[in-house]
Amino acid sequence: MKEVAKIHFGNNDHMSVYGGVVLITGRNSKLDTVDNIRESPHLIVFSKSHLQTYLDVSGIDGHLLISFDKDKQFTGATSCNSTHNSNFALLTQAKYAVFIEQRLVNFNVVGISRIETDYYIK
């Protein structure tokens, strides 16, 4: 797998993220329609043309969405634990996010400071 991002922490440590990349250009997106979204971590890059994006995470369990702003600074994390395929949508202003299984997260999200990636908002 290819390194798609590095998550940096306040203590100058970092974690490399290996997986796929998803570009979301619409105002609404259903995440479980993305190929292999549950099998490996993904860097999500949101279109800069929208201030906010509705991200439907219905039916996705045991994952974490770690969000970053346009300057790649950490803005928050959301636990995605929706076993039903109903409407569980997040309204996000993130421009970058890492979508990862919670079992792979061996750090405290509070310590995250920023993300480094070669993928840019279009």
Residue 16 domain-assigned (yes or no): yes
Which pTM value belongs to this model?
Answer: 0.88
Domain of 110: which CATH number?
Answer: 2.60.120.1140
Residue 121 domain-assigned (yes or no): no
Residue 24 domain-assigned (yes or no): yes
3-state secondary structure of 104: helix
Contact indicator for 101, 81 with CB cutoff of 8 Å: no
- Write the pLDDT tens digit of every residue in 80-105: 887 766 667 788 899 999 999 999 88
Give strand pairing partners of 114.
8, 73
Q: How many domains does the chain have?
A: 1
- Write the pLDDT tens digit of every residue in 37-62: 777 899 999 877 778 888 888 888 88
Residue 31 domain-assigned (yes or no): yes
User: Which residues fall within 8 angstroms of residue 99, CB to CB, at 6 or more apart?
Assistant: 22, 31, 37, 41, 42, 44, 63, 64, 65, 66, 80
Residue 40 domain-assigned (yes or no): yes
Residue 122 domain-assigned (yes or no): no
Which domain covers residue 23, as residue numbers?
Answer: 3-116
Residue 60 domain-assigned (yes or no): yes
Residue 83 domain-assigned (yes or no): yes
